[in-house]
Amino acid sequence: MTRGYAAFPTRFPLYNAPDDLPPQYGCGPIKFNGSNNALYERHLLFDNALSPSEVGDRERYEAIARSVRDVLSQRWQQTEETYSRENPKRVYYLSMEFLIGRSLSNNILNLRLDPMARRFFAENQLDELAILAQEPDAGLGNGGLGRLAACFLDSMATMQLPGMGYGLRFEYGMFKQQIVNGWQCEQPDNWLRRPDPWEVARPQLAVTIEFGCSFEVRGGNLKATAGASTLLGIPYDRPIVGYGGKTINTLRLWASAATNSFDFQGFSAGEFVSALAERLTAETVTRVLYPDDSTSMGQGLRFVQEYFLVACSLADLVRRFRLNNSDWNCLPDKVAIQLNDTHPCLTVPELMRILLDDAGLDWELAWDITKRMLAYTNHTLLPEALEKWPLRWFELMLPRHLEIILEIDRRLREEIVTRWPEDNDRAERAGIVERGAGHLVRMAHLAIAGSHSTNGVAAIHSRLLRDVTVRDLAELYSDRFSNKTNGVTPRRWLLMSNPGLANCITNAIGDRWITNMADLELLKPLAEDGEFIAAVGMAKRQAKLRFAEWLKSQAGIQVDPDTIFDSQIKRIHEYKRQLLNGLRIVALYNRLRENPHVDMQPRTFFFAGKAAPAYQVAKLIIKFLNNLADTIDGDPAVHGRLRVVFLPEYCVSMAERLIPASDVSNQISTAGYEASGTSNMKFMMNGALTIGTRDGATIEMAEAAGEENFFLFGLTAEQVAAGRDWYNPWWHYENEPETRAVLDLILSGHFTRHEPMIVDALRNILLIGGDTYRHLADLGSYMAADLRLQSLYTKQEAWTRRAILNIASSGKFSSDRTIAEYANEIWHVSPCPVP
Q: Tell me the catalytic residues.
A: 379, 570-571, 576, 678, 682
Rank residues 231 and 457 by Cβ distance to ligand 26Q and give the closer one: 457
Rank residues 233 and 487 by Cβ distance to ligand 26Q and give the closer one: 487
Measured from the CB of residue 133, what is the shortest distance to ligand 26Q in angstroms?
26
Interface with ligand 26Q in residues 422-461 (CB under 6 A): 457
Q: Let me know: does 473 contact 448? Beta carbons within 8 Å.
A: yes
Residue 3 burial class via C-beta count within 10 angstroms: exposed 0-12, middle 13-18, buried 19 and up: middle
Q: Let me know: does 154 contact 240? Beta carbons within 8 Å.
A: yes
Span near ligand 26Q by CB under 6 A; candidates 58-66, 258-266, 361-369, 668-676: 668-676
The CA distance from 192 to 137, in Å, is 10
Measured from the CB of residue 298, what is the shortest distance to ligand 26Q in angstroms?
8
546 is a contact residue toward ligand 26Q (CB under 6 A)? no
Q: Let me know: does 94 contact 313? Beta carbons within 8 Å.
A: yes
Rank residues 147 and 802 by Cβ distance to ligand 26Q and give the closer one: 147
The CA distance from 835 to 828, in Å, is 22
The CA distance from 324 to 384, in Å, is 43
Span near ligand 26Q by CB under 6 A; candidates 289-297, 516-524, 545-553, 601-609: 289-297
Residue 484 burial class via C-beta count within 10 angstroms: exposed 0-12, middle 13-18, buried 19 and up: buried
Residues 6 or more apart whose CB falls under 8 angstroms from that of 502 comprise 494, 495
Q: Let me know: does 610 contact 650? Beta carbons within 8 Å.
A: yes
Residue 85 burial class via C-beta count within 10 angstroms: exposed 0-12, middle 13-18, buried 19 and up: exposed
Rank residues 290 and 307 by Cβ distance to ligand 26Q and give the closer one: 290
Measured from the CB of residue 382, what is the shortest distance to ligand 26Q in angstroms?
9
The CA distance from 202 to 208, in Å, is 14
Q: Let me know: does 380 contact 462? Beta carbons within 8 Å.
A: no
Rank residues 291 and 582 by Cβ distance to ligand 26Q and give the closer one: 291
Measured from the CB of residue 293, what is the shortest distance to ligand 26Q in angstroms?
7
Contacting ligand 26Q (CB under 6 A), which of 677, 692, 729, 811? 677
Q: Let me know: does 254 contact 235? Beta carbons within 8 Å.
A: yes
Rank residues 188 and 195 by Cβ distance to ligand 26Q and give the closer one: 188
The torsion defined by the Cα of 677, 680, 681 and 682, in degrees rounded to 10, comes to 120
The CA distance from 709 to 524, in Å, is 13
**Interface mask toward ligand 26Q for 364-403; x: CB under 6 A:** ---------------xx------x----------------
696 is a contact residue toward ligand 26Q (CB under 6 A)? yes
**Interface mask toward ligand 26Q for 157-196; x: CB under 6 A:** ----------------------------------------
Rounded to a whole number of angstroms, the distance between the first and last alpha carbons of the chain is 27
292 is a contact residue toward ligand 26Q (CB under 6 A)? yes
Measured from the CB of residue 299, what is the shortest distance to ligand 26Q in angstroms?
7
Contacting ligand 26Q (CB under 6 A), which of 101, 136, 139, 143? 143
Span near ligand 26Q by CB under 6 A; candidates 139-147, 187-195, 361-369, 553-561: 139-147
The CA distance from 674 to 50, in Å, is 51
Interface with ligand 26Q in residues 15-34 (CB under 6 A): none
Contacting ligand 26Q (CB under 6 A), which of 678, 752, 809, 818? 678
Measured from the CB of residue 610, what is the shortest distance to ligand 26Q in angstroms?
12
Rank residues 521 and 821 by Cβ distance to ligand 26Q and give the closer one: 821
145 is a contact residue toward ligand 26Q (CB under 6 A)? yes
Measured from the CB of residue 154, what is the shortest distance to ligand 26Q in angstroms?
15
How many positions of this chain bind ligand 26Q (CB under 6 A)? 20
Q: Let me know: does 608 contact 742? Beta carbons within 8 Å.
A: no
Interface with ligand 26Q in residues 300-329 (CB under 6 A): 302
Interface with ligand 26Q in residues 468-507 (CB under 6 A): 486
The CA distance from 128 to 122, in Å, is 8
Measured from the CB of residue 697, what is the shortest distance to ligand 26Q in angstroms?
7
Contacting ligand 26Q (CB under 6 A), which of 311, 356, 488, 675? 675
Among candidates 326, 348, 302, which has minimal Cα distance to 96?
Answer: 302
Residues 6 or more apart whose CB falls under 8 angstroms from that of 91 comprise 156, 161, 162, 163, 164, 335, 336, 337, 338, 822, 823, 827, 829
Span near ligand 26Q by CB under 6 A; candidates 154-162, 424-432, 503-511, 669-677: 669-677
Rank residues 291 and 332 by Cβ distance to ligand 26Q and give the closer one: 291
**Nearest to ligand 26Q by Cβ — which residue?**
144
Q: Are strands 335-340 and 374-377 parallel, antiparallel or unpaired?
A: parallel
Span near ligand 26Q by CB under 6 A; candidates 144-152, 444-452, 506-514, 683-691: 144-152
DSSP reduced 3-state for 479: helix
Measured from the CB of residue 284, what is the shortest distance to ligand 26Q in angstroms?
16
Contacting ligand 26Q (CB under 6 A), which of 142, 454, 455, 515? 142
Q: Output the CA–CA distances (angstroms, integers) from residue 701 to 152, 486, 487, in the order listed.
A: 19, 11, 11
Residues 6 or more apart whose CB falls under 8 angstroms from that of 466 comprise 456, 474, 478, 481
CA angle centred on 106, ends 101 and 110, rounded to 5°: 145
Rank residues 31 and 302 by Cβ distance to ligand 26Q and give the closer one: 302
Contacting ligand 26Q (CB under 6 A), which of 32, 170, 236, 290? 290
The CA distance from 134 to 152, in Å, is 26
E strands of 269-353, at which residues? 335-340
Q: Output the CA–CA distances (angstroms, integers) from residue 101 to 139, 275, 326, 552, in the order listed.
A: 6, 36, 39, 22
Measured from the CB of residue 409, what is the shortest distance to ligand 26Q in angstroms?
21
Span near ligand 26Q by CB under 6 A; candidates 201-209, 329-337, 614-622, 672-680: 672-680
* Neighbour tally for 17: CB within 10 Å: 8
789 is a contact residue toward ligand 26Q (CB under 6 A)? no
Q: Output the CA–CA distances (angstroms, integers) from residue 313 to 92, 93, 207, 306, 677, in the order listed.
A: 9, 10, 9, 11, 28
Rank residues 144 and 431 by Cβ distance to ligand 26Q and give the closer one: 144
Contacting ligand 26Q (CB under 6 A), which of 101, 136, 144, 244? 144
Measured from the CB of residue 140, what is the shortest distance to ligand 26Q in angstroms?
11
The CA distance from 78 to 548, in Å, is 43
Measured from the CB of residue 674, what is the shortest distance to ligand 26Q in angstroms?
5
Rank residues 43 and 484 by Cβ distance to ligand 26Q and give the closer one: 484
Contacting ligand 26Q (CB under 6 A), which of 451, 676, 752, 806? 676
Q: Output the CA–CA distances (angstroms, integers) from residue 295 to 220, 539, 730, in the order listed.
A: 19, 43, 27
Q: Let me know: does 711 contact 688? Beta carbons within 8 Å.
A: no
The CA distance from 520 to 5, in Å, is 13
Measured from the CB of residue 657, what is the shortest distance to ligand 26Q in angstroms?
21
Rank residues 302 and 750 by Cβ distance to ligand 26Q and give the closer one: 302
Rank residues 143 and 687 by Cβ distance to ligand 26Q and give the closer one: 143
Span near ligand 26Q by CB under 6 A; candidates 358-366, 442-450, 673-681, 827-835: 673-681
DSSP states of 636-651:
GGGTTTEEEEEESS--
Q: Which residues lie near ligand 26Q (CB under 6 A)?
A: 142-145, 148, 290, 292, 297, 302, 379-380, 387, 457, 486, 674-678, 696
